[in-house]
Structure 1
Amino acid sequence: MKQPLGVILAGGLATRMGGGDKGRLDLGGRSILEHVIDRLAPQVAGLALNANGDAGRFDDLGLPVLPDSIEGFAGPLAGVLAGLDWAAGQGGEAIVTAAADTPFFPCDLVPRLLLAAEGCAHPLALAATEDETGRIWHQPTFGLWPVALRDDLRAALRGGLRKVVIWTQAHDAGTAVFDTGAGDPFFNVNTPDDLDQARRLMGKGRE
């Protein structure tokens, strides 16, 4: 299989942060989004940004900006679909998604997802973590998604589906479980308190 393309999901409303683009917030002298780009770009064959509204506000990043094709802020799956449609136009076979507000995600995200998808009918897998009770928590914005299923996903979204795990389980997705011993690698910035915590983590050398 070809190396996947990468899509950063930034299509949400950021209501808990007061609106606006969370990825543009400063973290250690650079935006959160720049940290995300730095982590994902080396792992993929090309990179795009899923975002709604005026695409021009991201011109400085030099990335294709992909709006949702499903109206009404339908959640992460709408961003995944936008990414799959873009990848199809690029001749890609799959994409890997990452959230625009999660600056510390694993630098081996893509190879681990590819490994988790081995043996599956399609290259489909979600990242996950395990809590102290042994329960697996899927990370619905971090996944490997096959272009071959984009029309299936489009139909599901038009039918009202919004839950990522319901769709991935229906297609027997793999799961890549990441260690949390050094802290949650999928810590995301949802609130001002989260941003303060991220800055503390960055100050302690969390990269």
Structure 2
Amino acid sequence: MSAQPMKTPLASVTAVILAGGQGRRMGGCNKGWVDYRGRPLIAHAIERLQPQAEQLVISTNTDIDRYRALGFPALTDSHPDYRGPMAGIAATFAACPGQTLLCAPVDAPELPLDLGQRLHHALEASPAPAAIAHDGERLQPLFALLRPTLAERMQDDLAQGSLAVGRWFRDIGALTVDFSDQPQAFANINTPDDLDTARPKP
């Protein structure tokens, strides 16, 4: 089945675009500003994720003013060393207490239009603390919906160092949600070759 956009945003849910990656495989550039089909990746992420939640924030440690100029809060994490996307999620929990978080990375320009809806539907029927996507071949743990009850544990675990995202979600008992009907929605732009492959051919 094809993804359908949400008719109404999820209440008490904050969408967070994870744009804090170091972009090593993209030559060290900020991936959010990489051009994809005539617009930066961040524009695609906002367009697809914003309608799915009550509010939207951008998690980043670079180009902060440039991101804020888009009209959304740009949140930095509290760790002087790079501790990965989980640090950005933890910073969003701290800035948005009591909110459920809908997460997606900035480098997936075709992310599911029904990501929040499907994760929320699955989580409502389960006592699990979080729900993460599975594209039919592999887990996609950065496409996630997290209950606010996870905020304290995440902060405590991050205090010990960087977290392996998939392992952390497994350890907390996250629910896996099947998105095998739209695996292409999880294709990400990690390298210049990925970008060339994704660009329309003349």
TM bracket, shorter-chain basis:
0.7 to 0.9
Aligned equivalents of 1:128, 1:69: Cα separation in 2? 30
Q: Which residue of 2 is the match for residue 72 of structure 1? A: 81
Please point out which of 36, 54, 57 is paired with 1:45.
Answer: 54
Secondary structure of the corresponding residue to residue 16 of structure 2: strand
Give yes or no for the alignment of 1:21 onto 2:35. no
RMSD: 2.0
Aligned residue for 2:199, secondary structure, equals: helix
Q: Deviations over 1:3-50 (max 9, x none)?
A: 411000011100000112111111222111101100000001000000
Q: TM-score, normalised by structure 2?
A: 0.87
Superposed CA deviations along residues 122-164 of structure 1, whole A, max 9, x for unmatched, are 5511111113xxxxx2112110112222111111111235112
Aligned counterpart in structure 2 of residue 98 of structure 1, from 104, 128, 132: 104
Whether 1:117 and 2:148 are equivalent positions in the alignment is no
The runs of 5 or more residues in structure 2 that have no matched partner are 1-9
Q: TM-score, normalised by structure 1?
A: 0.86
| Residues in 2 aligned to 1:5 and 1:141: alpha-carbon distance in whole angstroms | 15
* Aligned equivalents of 1:74, 1:119: Cα separation in 2: 32
Q: Percent identity?
A: 38
> How is 1:148-167 mapped onto 2 (pairs within 5 angstroms)?
148-167=149-168
Preserved contact between residue 117 and residue 173 of structure 1 (Cα < 8 Å):
no
The structure-2 alpha-carbon separation of the partners of 1:84 and 1:122, relative to structure 1 and needing over 3 Å to count, comes to farther
Instruction: Give ranges in structure 1 of 5+ residues lacking alignment.
Output: 132-136
List 4+ stretches of structure 1 deviating above 4 A.
none
Paired residues, number: 193
